[in-house]
Amino acid sequence: MNNFDEAYDTFVKTDEDVEGLLAYAIFKRHELRWLKQHVSDNAKNPTPSETATFIKAAITSESQYRTEAADALIAFAEEVVESRRSVIEKQAVEGKFEAMETRVRSATSFWQTVLSNIIGFLAVSLLLAIVAFSAQKLGIDLLDAIGLQGPI
């Protein structure tokens, strides 16, 4: 494994490690600046040994790169939220109004409830009238049958 693979493997733990990927990108930016400075100062490219020393030093500073990456991600998230705040708030309010409208529409109104109760009362009354009429025609005394016949 060469130093570049070691640096990537140090910073990036999994393919979904966004913080690690950003930390690696920050390391690469640092490495590019170091390389330019080295060429500027020495008028030559660094030796493989110098490059390896730089990479080893950077790897030991992994937590600093990760902290910078985390700070950048947080700043980015805050910027996105702030730039979309009015849209997010509008969607939240509209969502609440839509939910309330749905609840109001699905709730039964007072007069619908009264009408359904009247219909239910009439249906039960009709059923009881049919039972009483049938019992009378069949010669059944309902009060006597259920034991409610009072003294005569």
Whether 150 is covered by a domain: the verdict is: no
Structural domain contains residue 81: yes
Mean pLDDT, range 74-100, rounded to an integer = 83
**Is residue 15 domain-shared with residue 67, that is, in the same domain?**
yes
- Our separate counts of H helices and E strands in the chain read 7, 0
Q: Are residues 42 and 112 in the same domain?
A: no
Stated pTM of the model: 0.56
* Beta-carbon contacts of residue 54 (< 8 Å; ≥ 6 apart): 31, 34, 46
Domain residues for 126?
A: 108-145
User: How do residues 111-132 score in pLDDT, each as one tens digit?
Assistant: 788 888 999 999 999 999 998 8
Supply the Cα-derived Rg of the chain in whole angstroms. 41
Q: Which residue has the higher pLDDT, 113 or 82?
A: 82
- The answer to the question of residue 152 being in a domain is no
- pLDDT value of position 112: 80
Q: Is residue 75 part of a domain?
A: yes
DSSP letter at 109?
A: P
